[in-house]
Amino acid sequence: MEQQRLPDFMALYNAWAQLSPGPRAELKRVATPDGLIEEPAFYRLFSGRGEKEWEKQAWQRLIFCLPCIKHTEEKVSLGKALARYKSGSKGLSEKRLFQVIRSEFPNDMIQLRRILKMAELTVNWEIAAKQLWYWNQRAKRDLLEDFFMNQSKQTN
């Protein structure tokens, strides 16, 4: 069985980083994943990517969350970064994370992006992007498990 090659997630991140402030602001203001299709900046990043419908949706999820994430070379996943944020002074309500897990598209992405915006996370983009690329019930469960496993490490 042929293994599927993942896209170059760092190429997307670098393209995002090279956008001028105006287009970046356009993408930050979008309220829903479907709202991206009304923004020219989305097509600057999306152009030439994704032929199948599921791939287009995966790129849309990535671009929707991208404005709320900073990249680090450290092996920091979304769950680990959220656990670090929870143990900080501002904190993250576990209820908010459970809202993401229990919601269906597009509400799950909207809830996740709200958390990402609030927390201003620094994560390894390649790790986070892979999780968003395969976003489904399993990926949500992995996010939750990663969060709780790292949360206990932060509080011990």
The span from the CA of 41 to the CA of 38, in Å, is 9
pLDDT at 152 > cutoff 60: no
Q: Is 120 helix (H, G, I), strand (E, B) or coil?
A: coil
The span from the CA of 46 to the CA of 150, in Å, is 33
Interval 37-48: pLDDT, tens: 999 999 999 987
In a domain, 64, yes or no: yes
Question: Residue 53 belongs to what H/E stretch?
Answer: helix 53-65
The domain total for the chain is: 1
Structure tokens at 81: 């970064």
In a domain, 1, yes or no: no
Query: Which range marks the domain in which residue 14 is found?
Result: 9-155
**What radius of gyration, in Å, describes the C-alpha atoms of the chain?**
15
In a domain, 24, yes or no: yes
> What mean pLDDT comes out for the span 119-142?
95
Residue 67 backbone class (left: φ over 0; alpha: ψ -120 to 50; beta: rest): alpha
The span from the CA of 84 to the CA of 131, in Å, is 18
In a domain, 103, yes or no: yes
Tell me, what CATH number does 85's domain have?
1.10.520.40
In a domain, 82, yes or no: yes
The phi, psi pair for 123, rounded to 5°, reads -135, 170
In a domain, 3, yes or no: no
In a domain, 102, yes or no: yes
| Out of 15-24, 48-57, 87-96, 120-129, least confident range | 87-96
In a domain, 2, yes or no: no
Return the closest-CA partner of residue 112 out of 70, 82, 80.
82
pTM of this prediction? 0.88
How far, in Å, are 7, 38, 40, 65, 110 from residue 116 at the CA level?
22, 22, 23, 8, 10
Structure tokens at 135: 């976003």
Interval 44-101: pLDDT, tens: 999 878 788 899 999 999 999 999 999 999 999 999 999 888 655 566 778 889 999 9
